[in-house]
Each structure stands twice: as C-alpha cells, then as structure tokens.
C-alpha cells in the first residue's frame, strides 16, 4: 500500500517487499552490474545475509524498516558490525524497488489533447493514474469523467503498468508498449531472446531509447518484472 502524490492510496503499484526474502535479495545483487564503489554489495553475501537474519530480518519489508531512520541504522550498526557505507548502499538498492512514477508529459508520443485532459484532472504521473484504471469499469469511468477516449485510456493504462518495473524511463516505457510488451504480465512471461530482438527492431525503427540495451539487461528486467504485482484486469 502506497500513498500517492494526490493523497490517495495506491494499491499494488509497487512490489510487495513482504514477498521477497533476504536470500532472494542477496542472490539478485550477485547478478546486477555494480559500480566499483558498490562492489562491497557483492562481497561475502552469505555472511552478511546471516548477520541480518540473526536480527530477525528475513524479508525486505523488515530490512526496509530497519533502515528507515538514522536511529534504526545506528542500532543495526551496533548489533551487526556492518559498516555505514554498506547499509547506505543497501538502502539505495531497496529504493530501486520503488521507481519514481513517470510523468506523462515526458513520455514520447502522447497526444497533447490527452495530456491536457490529464492535467485538468490532476493526473500527472503513472501513480496518479494507476488506481483509476485497474478494471474495465474504472477505465470507462475515467473516460467518461475526463473526455479521453477508451482507446487512449487503454494506452495510458499500459504505460502506467509497465512503468512500475525497476529501471524504466519515459522513453523505455514507450518502447516496451510499442514493441508489444505492454503489461507486467507479458514482460514477466517473456522469452529473453525474443524480447531483446523485438525491442531492438522497434527502437531501430522509432529511435525512442538512446541507451544501449544488451540481452543480459533484458534478462534482468524480466527477472525483476516477476516481482511486480499483476493486478490490471483487462
């Protein structure tokens, strides 16, 4: 449960950290690319995982709570002997599970009429929209209220859905939707090689995304997509 920017509760927008064990978290840290200054995250993972588990931390929601304030971090430092630099890096990795909602005006290819209607209704980013489009009834109500067509609401829904996955950007969510990977479910179930080739072909034709994608990037993206709640009802 997350409070969104318009003061409403967004149900299921982010990954439920209660469902991810500490062992899974450490395993994934071994798979992602890290900067030289972050290499400590990949050192002696079993030892560090065990150290945290001895403090009753077994899932990521518990780790998040333990790193929530300077006081709690200080307590964890004392009890575990882990360094402040290490726990700070851990906090940053946890934050990746809550990617910044994407502003609709920054997404390539959205109709100015749609953006104007969204703004008039105080819907500026993907989190603002999310709870309004979960069901067909929700989407019809939004179309009736805003004057945005159902097809346009469906497009916004797809953009909002895939934006919840770690590492997404405005250009990348547009690329995903254009390539047919327009839901968390489709991405989580995707074949890595096929998805990589389709994204590369679509981006070659449309030039949405300037970054360099590798097949391993897509493999990791699919892996993290599996953690995101699949709650859009089509």
Residue range 54-75, pLDDT digits in tens: 999 999 999 999 999 999 999 9
Asked if the model's pLDDT at residue 1 lies above 90, the reply is: no
The residue out of 57, 77, 95 marking a domain boundary is: 95
C-alpha distances in Å from residue 144, one per residue of 117, 137, 147, 150, 233: 12, 11, 6, 9, 19
Asked if the model's pLDDT at residue 4 lies above 80, the reply is: no
Biggest alpha carbon–alpha carbon distance for the chain? 58
Q: With respect to residue 91, please indicate whether it lies within any of the assigned structural domains.
A: yes
Asked if the model's pLDDT at residue 3 lies above 70, the reply is: no
Both 220 and 120 in one domain: the answer is: yes
Both 42 and 69 in one domain: the answer is: yes
What residues contact residue 166 under an 8 Å CB cut-off, 6+ apart? 96, 97, 99, 221, 224
- Euclidean distance between CA atoms 144 and 50, whole angstroms: 54
Both 160 and 127 in one domain: the answer is: yes
Instruction: List the structure tokens of 129.
Output: 């929209």
Give the residue from 154, 160, 149, 225 showing the smallest Cα distance to 187: 225
The residue out of 60, 75, 95 marking a domain boundary is: 95
Helix, strand, or coil (residue 125): strand
Q: With respect to residue 233, please indicate whether it lies within any of the assigned structural domains.
A: no
Instruction: Quote the pLDDT of residue 10.
Output: 59
- Euclidean distance between CA atoms 223 and 215, whole angstroms: 12
Asked if the model's pLDDT at residue 9 lies above 50, the reply is: no
Both 130 and 25 in one domain: the answer is: no
Q: With respect to residue 167, please indicate whether it lies within any of the assigned structural domains.
A: yes
Q: With respect to residue 10, please indicate whether it lies within any of the assigned structural domains.
A: no
Both 123 and 89 in one domain: the answer is: no
Both 108 and 88 in one domain: the answer is: no
Asked if the model's pLDDT at residue 35 lies above 90, the reply is: no
Place of tokens 């489009």: 133
Q: How many domains does the chain have?
A: 2
The residue out of 44, 72, 95 marking a domain boundary is: 95
Instruction: Quote the pLDDT of residue 211.
Output: 82
- Euclidean distance between CA atoms 88 and 41, whole angstroms: 10
- Euclidean distance between CA atoms 178 and 36, whole angstroms: 35
Q: With respect to residue 7, please indicate whether it lies within any of the assigned structural domains.
A: no
Burial class (CB in 10 A: 0-12, 13-18, 19+), 192: middle
Q: With respect to residue 140, please indicate whether it lies within any of the assigned structural domains.
A: yes
Both 37 and 108 in one domain: the answer is: no
Instruction: Quote the pLDDT of residue 11.
Output: 59
Asked if the model's pLDDT at residue 2 lies above 60, the reply is: no
Kindly state the DSSP code that residue 101 receives in the 8-state scheme.
P
- Euclidean distance between CA atoms 170 and 108, whole angstroms: 7
- Global pTM reads 0.90
C-alpha angle with apex 222: 172 to 98, nearest 5 degrees?
A: 65
Both 136 and 75 in one domain: the answer is: no
Average pLDDT score, the chain = 93
Both 89 and 142 in one domain: the answer is: no
Both 72 and 140 in one domain: the answer is: no
Both 60 and 152 in one domain: the answer is: no
Q: With respect to residue 232, please indicate whether it lies within any of the assigned structural domains.
A: no
Phi, psi of 47 (to 5 degrees): -65, -45
The range of the structural domain enclosing residue 203 comes to 104-225
Give the residue from 168, 154, 215, 163 showing the smallest Cα distance to 190: 215
> pLDDT tens across 97-111, in order?
999 999 999 999 999
Both 49 and 79 in one domain: the answer is: yes
- Euclidean distance between CA atoms 27 and 223, whole angstroms: 12
Q: With respect to residue 1, please indicate whether it lies within any of the assigned structural domains.
A: no
- Do residues 176 and 187 make contact, with C-beta atoms less than 8 angstroms apart? yes
């Amino acid at each position: 449960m997350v409070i969104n920017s318009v003061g409403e509760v967004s149900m299921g927008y982010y990954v439920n950290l209660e469902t991810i064990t500490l062992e899974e978290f450490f395993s994934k840290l071994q798979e992602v690319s890290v900067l030289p200054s972050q290499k400590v995250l990949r050192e002696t993972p079993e030892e560090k995982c065990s150290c945290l588990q001895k403090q009753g931390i077994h899932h990521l929601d518990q780790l998040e709570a333990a790193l929530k304030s300077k006081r709690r971090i200080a307590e964890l430092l004392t009890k575990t002997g882990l360094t402040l630099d290490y726990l700070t890096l851990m906090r940053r990795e946890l934050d990746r599970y809550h990617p910044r909602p994407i502003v609709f005006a920054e997404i390539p290819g959205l109709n100015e009429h749609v953006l104007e209607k969204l703004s008039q209704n105080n819907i500026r980013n993907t989190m603002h929209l999310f709870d309004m489009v979960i069901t067909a009834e929700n989407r019809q109500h939004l179309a009736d209220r805003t004057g945005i067509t159902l097809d346009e609401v469906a497009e916004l829904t797809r953009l909002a859905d895939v934006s919840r996955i770690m590492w997404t950007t405005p250009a990348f969510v547009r690329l995903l939707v254009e390539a047919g990977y327009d839901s968390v479910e489709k991405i989580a179930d995707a074949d890595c090689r096929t998805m990589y080739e389709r994204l590369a072909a679509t981006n070659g034709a449309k030039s949405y995304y300037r970054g360099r994608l590798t097949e391993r990037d897509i493999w990791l993206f699919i892996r993290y997509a599996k953690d995101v709640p699949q709650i859009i009802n089509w």
